[in-house]
Amino acid sequence: MRYALASDHAGFAVKEFVKQRLLEYGHEVVDYGAKSEAPCDYPDHGRPAAEAVSRGHCERAVLVCGTGIGMSIVANKVHGVLAALCLNGVQAEYSRRHNNANVLVMGGWLTGKLMAEEILERWLKAEFEGGRHAHRVAKIEGNGGTLGG
């Protein structure tokens, strides 16, 4: 599978760790930056990575900034992206199983290497369950009828 990766300076170390793991698992990685811990703006890297998913250049993405909030907002502005900020493995697994998230977001200030590994592994292994969840995801995407019903 082909993954887009992006971070700002605060998420750089976690992004590099995720990159190493994805490559070890045999995935292809497209790194949209940051290239170092030098200060930079998360939208400059996160938006192109999310757009790579939207356009089909990459199947999924992993984005990391200090808290994960900024990258989540940026990614979810891109059509076709379902980005989930995950602080633990349970959230990561269910973001795939129930929400079909195609972008994983982590907070570099909040996520150590052991937790990043658990989050990544559970996200990679989980599959979308469909069923009642497909109807809900369709509503999020504007394809599932009226909200609240």
Q: Which of 9, 45, 58, 65 is catalytic?
A: 65
Residue 65 catalytic? yes
Q: Which two tokens stand for residue 138?
A: 């369709």
Query: Of 57, 59, 93, 63, which is closest to residue 75 (Cα–Cα)?
Result: 63
Annotated catalytic, 45? no
Q: How many residues does the structure list for the chain?
A: 149
CB 42 within 8 A of CB 70: yes
- Catalytic positions, please? 65, 98
